[in-house]
Amino acid sequence: MFYRLQTILLNLTFYLLFFAVAAVLVPILVVYGCVLVPFCSWRRTLKRIRALIRVYGITMIHLGWPFIRIRTEWADEPPPEPCIYICNHRATSDGFLMGMLGCEGVQVVNIWPFKIPVLGVFARLAGYLSIREMPAEEFMQQGTRLLDDGVSIIAFPEGTRSGSRQMGPFHGALFRLALRSGAPIVPLCLSGTEDKPTKGSVIMKPGLIRMRFMPPITADVYQEMSPFKLKNHVRNCMISELEQMEQEE
């Protein structure tokens, strides 16, 4: 009964605030971004656009407080930057959570984020990589260039939301990029997002979201692996870690 009441309150407040904040925050971010463009280099502008997207993500993901709480769990050392963040993908909120990373990053996305009004333009400007729209070689070139520029790549190699605690098979493009660039891979396990909201629904459920950063997998560990072996190695590490996280609950 109490949980049901919490769910109702969460959804009432969250969606009310979501649209209200979006209506206020998006124009502010657009104006802020546009005003500063003529005074900065393109590289700095890109950095600023990515920071604005991060601000938006952090703001939106915190609108569910106190019904939705977020806990970040770090490995011994902060992730090396730039790196390739490999995240499991259970729900829509995962994309917003990436604002919590605190680094300059570009997400690898499907086509649909580019179709979101205003934000889609921001995503395109920020150089988000639309993996379904680009040939493999172009993806490799752009990804390598971003990493060389100090920009981390954030990706959900399952390619779509799993909608449950099961992890889907991984696509290999990110791991081929790692093998080509030598960038460290940081597996990031997301737990508790599977019902925020559940796939096919808009109802958010109260609870704790945990973001656990696993120790980086560096090139000296993976350079001898095939792309296929590397992707399955990372996937298996994440499955074990998620099982452990969920047993701790």
Partner 1 sequence: MQRDKIIELVNEVFLEDFEMEAGQLVPEVHLFTELGLDSLDVVDLVVALQKKFDVSIRDDERVRDIRTLNDLYDFIEALGQEMGSK
Residues 29-58 that bind partner 1 (CB under 8 A): none
Map residues 168-207 to x or -, x wherever contact with partner 1 holds by CB under 8 A: -xxxxx--x-------------------------------
Give the residue, chosen from 226, 240, 244, 246, that forms a contact with partner 1 under the rule CB under 8 A. Answer: 226
Nearest distance, CB of residue 231 and partner 1, angstroms:
8
Q: Is the omega angle on the peptide bond into residue 206 within 30 degrees of 0, that is, cis?
A: no
C-alpha pair distances (Å), 188 with each of 74, 75, 110, 137 = 10, 10, 19, 26
Nearest distance, CB of residue 173 and partner 1, angstroms:
6
225 is a contact residue toward partner 1 (CB under 8 A): yes
User: How many whole angstroms separate alpha carbon 159 and alpha carbon 130?
Assistant: 11
Nearest distance, CB of residue 246 and partner 1, angstroms:
22
Distance of CA 38 to the CA centre of its chain: 29
29 closest CA partner among 148, 100, 118: 118
Q: What is the CA radius of gyration of the chain?
A: 18
69 is a contact residue toward partner 1 (CB under 8 A): no
- Tell me the site size for partner 1, rule CB under 8 A: 15
Q: CB-wise, 22 or 239, nearer to partner 1?
A: 239
Residues 79-118 that bind partner 1 (CB under 8 A): none
Helical H segments across 149-206, by residue range: 173-181
156 is a contact residue toward partner 1 (CB under 8 A): no
Q: CB-wise, 32 or 228, nearer to partner 1?
A: 228
136 is a contact residue toward partner 1 (CB under 8 A): yes
Torsion of CA 98, 102, 103, 106, to 10 degrees: 20
Q: CB-wise, 45 or 232, nearer to partner 1?
A: 232
220 closest CA partner among 113, 80, 38: 80
Q: CB-wise, 33 or 172, nearer to partner 1?
A: 172
- Structural contact between residues 126 and 44, judged by C-beta atoms closer than 8 angstroms: no
Binding site for partner 1 (CB under 8 A): 136, 169-173, 176, 225-229, 231-232, 235
